[in-house]
Structure 1
Amino acid sequence: MVFQLISTLLIAVALAMDAFSVSLTKGFTQKDLTKSQIFYYALFFGFFQFMMPILGYYFGEAISTFIASIASFVGFILLLAIGLNMIRESLSDDEDITDNFSFKEVTLLAIATSIDAFAVGLTYAILGSEILIPSVIIGIVAFLFTLLGIFIGKKIGDYFGGRFQILGGVILILIGIKILLGF
């Protein structure tokens, strides 16, 4: 039982790293995030990290090969598009362009960073393990790491200021490449 809990926590932390990295980026590129917007980031990232293992579990082996073959590509495309847009906006001469909060982007980022959790759900199904408790733990850890990432990112952004949006875009693209290559 203790071994399963430790294993689940380690899996949850590993899965939360992408969410942490993206939220760190958002923390230093979105200067005017309100407390409710920060909460939405954490809620969406935590929710998708919670739901994806369950979805993976119930999809099972029947479609696992197909999903696994395209999941990393979908995550890469989403993060590449968002990252390139951040870089484009940062390089624009228009001073009014900023990285603003949007539910569409939060949802896309949450999906892109939780695709690995889908594969974890498939693994739990193959092993015949229970999925609800691990999914709850995975979701809570992602929620907490997202909050932590945003708050650290805001501090970094305040310290460095300026065109940190370019770095944010590059980080999102690198995370997408990591997902695509399966690291």
Structure 2
Amino acid sequence: MHLFDIVVISIGLAMDASAVSMAAAACGYAQNRRAVFRLAFHFGLFQFMMPVIGWFLGTGFVSYVRAVDHWIAFGLLAFVGGRMIREGLADTDEDLHRDPSKGLTMVMLSVATSIDALAIGLGLAVMDVNIWYPSVLIGVITCAMSVAAIYIGKRVGAAFGSKMEVVGGVILIGLGLKILIPALFFDV
């Protein structure tokens, strides 16, 4: 597999994580270096790990996950997105807002945005490609694109105010639908 092919695959896999990073920053999260690091690191780490896991598991397990992977990704993204919308629409001053760069929310977002990388790992195993180089490149590119998306998201959030949390929630649900609908209707 050529470097160009791996870079194109890496960019494609990093798009969902970048969109989530941008939405989180636009909502007012990821305002300090630690939050930026947590988001970018976790997205990069999961995008690195999932192809490796897919490569090692082989066709047996992945065929079972492939049947429901779109539902898993949609469910995780819809859950977090719905919670963001609810919190963005809340009229109360109480602190309902949860930083998506921490805890279980971070893990759910990392898994949801990297499930497709599991299938890439399986494909690389079938093609008899050494998994380490592509996986490292996928992780590094995802991390870098997430950082860039966070800085763009900060500017968008500053321009449009505090209701960006609702927009961020809608974006997450939209990403979930982007994953779910083709799988249901186009058998991808």
TM-score (norm 2): 0.92
Moved >6 Å (runs of 4+): none
Return 82-91 or 58-67, whichever deviates more: 58-67
Instruction: Report if aligned partners of 2:24, 2:150 keep a CA contact under 8 Å in 1.
Output: yes
Unaligned runs of 5+ in 1: none
| Alignment match, 2:8 | 10
Question: What residue identity is the alignment partner of 2:121?
Answer: G
Instruction: Report if aligned partners of 2:14, 2:142 keep a CA contact under 8 Å in 1.
Output: yes
How do 1:126-165 and structure 2 match up within 5 A? Answer: 126-165=126-165
How do 1:1-183 and structure 2 match up within 5 A? Answer: 4-31=2-29, 33-96=31-94, 97-100=96-99, 101-182=101-182
Aligned mates of 1:11, 1:59 — CA distance in 2:
20
Instruction: Report if aligned partners of 2:17, 2:113 keep a CA contact under 8 Å in 1.
Output: yes
Aligned mates of 1:160, 1:117 — CA distance in 2:
33
Per-residue deviation, 1:60: 0.6
Aligned mates of 1:111, 1:64 — CA distance in 2:
15
Instruction: Report if aligned partners of 2:10, 2:138 keep a CA contact under 8 Å in 1.
Output: yes
Instruction: Report if aligned partners of 2:74, 2:180 keep a CA contact under 8 Å in 1.
Output: yes
Aligned mates of 1:182, 1:51 — CA distance in 2:
25
Question: What residue identity is the alignment partner of 2:129?
Answer: S
Over the matched positions of the two proteins, sequence identity in percent amounts to 36
Deviations 1:65-101 (A, max 9, x none): 1111111111110000000000011111112333434
Deviations 1:130-173 (A, max 9, x none): 11000000000000011111111001100111311111000000
Per-residue deviation, 1:31: 4.3
Aligned mates of 2:93, 2:11 — CA distance in 1:
38
Aligned mates of 1:15, 1:32 — CA distance in 2:
21
Aligned mates of 1:77, 1:64 — CA distance in 2:
19
Instruction: Report if aligned partners of 1:57, 1:121 keep a CA contact under 8 Å in 2.
Output: yes
SS for the counterpart of 1:129 is coil
